A and B are shown apart, each in its own frame.
Chain A
Amino acid sequence: MNVPSIQAISLTKKYGSFTALSNLNIKIEGAKCVGFLGPNGAGKTTTLKLFTDMIRPTSGQAFINGIDVHKEKKKALASVGTLIETPQIYPSLTEREALLMVAEIKGVPPDSLEKSVKEVVDKVKMQAWLDKKIGKMSKGMQQRINVAAALLGDPEVVLLDEPTSGLDPRGMSEVRDIIKDLKKENRLIFMSSHILSEVSEMCDEVAMIDHGKLLAYGPIEDVVSRFSDKHAGVVEVSLIKPIKDSALKRIRTINGVRSLEKLDTRRFNLKLSGGIKTQQAVLAKLVKLNIGIIGFKPSSSALEETYLSVFKETV
């Protein structure tokens, strides 16, 4: 199995008569980051717990890399990193010990145990705390260790439940960088989050869920254009160098650009007249202008508008 994948087939979870997750069907395949959005109580954590066999499905199945998680948990999770709902770590162990434990369980070879622990600790910037007891650390520091534990053993699939919750702004941005790096290394990342800017910055696709039902799944641009007409094709363009007014003027005249809103010297939003095709055409023209484009993303406010309109509709 070369391409990492996760799949739910009619996945349903009931707590008594309450349906927390209802008939979820989704297949996510390949190296990408998928944001999992939905209001409080939508069923995000429930879904992720089903994918790690922390809870049993009432019906349906969850597969990772084609293996049923509930039937063959150990095999299914063999190359998976998970962080579900701010776990607590044994408070009297040190950071090093706790991470060594996870590394050993995941089967990191004995001679590279220390090395892999050091690697992930470096990533979450917790080197100075290696030999301190976890019970003496703040919540955010513990969350960094949880992130580190999820990264141990080079997982192909990474399941994260609000990974940046409890982190300081620097911590959030560091974890975002970690996730972007993971994406580059042929990983599949499935991540629940309430921070839409985070999702639109890191993720290629989004899945939206409410009241246990999947409402939308697809590339961010598609979902955005499907659910909010007025914001169809709002993209945020970022540049490596400040942009000149003359260039801005020229951009306004490009076919398909409805309006331009300057955010700062190196960023502006473009409101486009069409969907994905228009985006592609506009991007091609922008590149020719040679203004130093380093980013061309659906703007986070577009995702936010979509979010608000999707979840208003279902109340």
Chain B
Amino acid sequence: MEKLNLGKRNVVPNGARQILIMTKYTFLDYFRSRRFFVLLIIALAIGALLTGIVGYFRPASFITSVLAFYSSWWGTSVTFIVILSAVFFGGDAISGEFQNKTGYFLVGNPIRRSSIYIGKYLAAFIAAVIILAVFTVITLGNGFYYFGSSSIPYQFVESFILAILYTASALGLTFFFSSLFKSSTMSILTTIILLLFVFSLVSVLIESLANIQPTFILTYGAQVITNVLSNPYPPAVTTSSAGPGSHFILTVYNVGLSEGIAIMLVYFAVASVAGLLIFERKEFI
């Protein structure tokens, strides 16, 4: 009945420590599974494509002013990069644990489910920020080439920070769906369709047809990333008639800076809390 190894009994690490352990190994998995590199290559390809096109055609919208350059270059592509990262790293983060039964290897251990969730989220966030950073470097490289290195407008720094907030928020949403569904395909498809199509479609429709500001749509809030790059900041509402002689008035809303930040923060908070609660209650059956 006596115990031999009383002295070296393990002490289960605290929650924060276990979160970091999860982050570390999830990140390792991104590397090993080439998931990270695939996305890196996509980001590099988009960067290379833009570099080639701008270098060859020198479109006026890009090279008339510094701000115009960053607005056209970064503003058009960065939200796409963020959405790709969110889907790549978050789309099946939790659903994959159920579908592939890898969760069975994890949850039988002395670790809270919330630590698994948060740890995986942090890994996805760090990976997405690295991808974003690489794309930023390509953007800045081109900016320096055309306008010199002393020319980073403060608006670009703002835009970069907002892009990071968008990353956090979009990942929160993809994690939520990956927690909601048990099938990876379902959760990945849902997030892609939502972030790339449904959100934009719904906001265009309710803006132009119902004249309602779509403050409840994440991608609408993310437009601040582009908006801060125009000087002056775009007006809250712009209207235009659909064509000459037409009575149809097209209304377009432009999200304000604090509105945009609020929308992204609310999405992040609500999606994260809901995703976590669902995962806590989900059964490995």
Are both chains from one complex?
Answer: yes
For this complex, into which size category does the number of interface residues on chain B fall?
35 or more
B159 shortest CB reach to chain A, Å: 35
The one of B3, B4, B22, B281 in contact with A2, judged by C-beta atoms closer than 8 angstroms, is: B3
Do A78 and B21 form a contact, CB below 8 Å, given A87-B101, A92-B29, A186-B3? no
Q: B111 to A105, Cβ gap below 8 A?
A: yes
- Among listed B6-14, B147-155, B209-217, interface-contacting one: B6-14
Are B108's CB and A89's CB within 8 A?
no
A101-115: which residues lie under 8 A (CB-CB) from chain B?
A: 101-102, 104-109, 112
Residue contact A92 to B21, C-beta cutoff 8 Å = no
Q: Is B1 on the interface with A (CB-CB < 8 A)?
A: yes
Alpha-carbon gap, A92 to B106, bound state (A): 15
**Which A145-164 residues have a C-beta within 8 angstroms of B?**
146, 149, 153-154, 159
**Within 8 Å CB of B106, what residues of A?**
105
B29 in contact with A87 (CB, 8 Å): no
B29 contacts which chain A residues (CB < 8 A)?
90, 92-93
Contact with A along B107-128 (1 / 0, CB 8 A): 1111110000000000000000
Q: Name the residue among B32, B104, B285 with the largest chain A CB count within 10 angstroms.
A: B104
Does A55 sit at the interface, judged by CB under 8 A?
yes
Residues of A within 8 A of B33 (CB): 90-92
Q: Across the interface, which residues of B come within 8 angstroms of A80, CB to CB?
A: 108, 110
- In Å, the complex CA distance between A94 and B32 comes to 9
B102 at the interface (CB under 8 A from A): yes
Contacts of B21 in A (CB 8 A): 101, 104-105
Q: Is the Cβ of B107 less than 8 Å from the Cβ of A74? A: no
The residue in chain B whose Cβ has the minimal distance to the Cβ of A20 is B285
User: Does B49 touch A at the CB level, under 8 Å?
Assistant: no
Evaluate contact between A74 and B104: CB separation under 8 angstroms.
Answer: no
Interface residue tally of chain A, by bracket? 35 or more
Whether B76 sits at the interface, judged by CB under 8 Å, is no
User: A88-B101, A93-B28 are contacts. A74–B12 as well, Cβ < 8 Å?
Assistant: yes
> Are B28 and A73 in contact, CB atoms less than 8 angstroms apart?
no
Residues of B contacting A94 with CB < 8 Å?
A: 32
The residue among B5, B18, B105, B285 with the most chain A CB atoms within 10 A of its own CB is B105
* A residues near B103, Cβ cutoff 8 Å: 87
Q: Residues of A contacting B112 with CB < 8 Å?
A: 73-74
Q: A6 in the interface, Cβ–Cβ < 8 Å? A: no
A106 touches B110 (CB 8 A): yes
B65 within 8 A of A: no
The answer to whether A118 has its CB under 8 Å from any CB of chain B is no
Chain B residues numbered 231-285 whose CB sits less than 8 Å from any CB in chain A: 281, 283-285
B185, CB-defined interface residue at 8 Å: no
Binding site secondary structure of chain B? loop
B25 at the interface (CB under 8 A from A): yes
Tell me, rounded to whole Å, the shortest Cβ–Cβ distance linking B1 to chain A: 7
Q: Given A90, A92, A102, A185, which contacts B109 in the complex, CB threshold below 8 Å?
A: A102
Asked if B61 is an interface residue, CB under 8 A from chain A, the answer is no
Given A87-B101, A133-B32, the answer on whether A74 and B111 have CB atoms closer than 8 Å is yes
B64 at the interface (CB under 8 A from A): no
Min CB–CB distance A134 → chain B (angstroms): 10
- The verdict on A31 contacting chain B, using a C-beta distance below 8 Å, is yes
B115 vs chain A, min Cβ distance (A) = 8
Check if A85 sits within 8 Å of B104, measured CB to CB.
yes
Residue of B nearest to A100 (CB): B25
Partner of A52 from the list B3, B13, B107 (CB cut-off 8 Å) is: B107
Contact of A55 among B3, B11, B110, B285 (CB under 8 A): B285
Report if A49 contacts B (CB, 8 A).
Answer: yes
A266 surroundings in chain B (CB, below 8 A): none
Name the A residues within 8 Å of B34 (CB-CB).
Answer: 92
Question: Are B102 and A87 within 8 A (Cβ)?
Answer: yes
Given contact pairs A54-B108, A82-B108, A186-B4, a sample of 11 additional A-B residue pairs in the complex whose CB atoms are under 8 Å apart: A55-B283, A75-B110, A79-B9, A84-B104, A90-B29, A90-B105, A92-B32, A92-B33, A97-B25, A109-B8, A149-B105
Can you show 26 pairs from A to B with CB atoms below 8 A apart?
A15-B285, A49-B284, A53-B107, A73-B110, A74-B110, A74-B111, A75-B110, A77-B109, A84-B108, A85-B101, A85-B104, A86-B101, A87-B104, A88-B105, A92-B29, A92-B32, A94-B32, A104-B21, A105-B12, A105-B13, A109-B10, A133-B32, A149-B105, A154-B5, A186-B1, A186-B4
- Chain B residues within 8 Å of A, Cβ to Cβ: 1-5, 8-13, 18, 21-22, 25, 28-29, 32-34, 100-112, 281, 283-285
Q: Which 6 pairs across A and B sit closest by C-beta, in order of nearness?
A: A87-B104, A82-B108, A92-B32, A92-B33, A54-B284, A87-B105
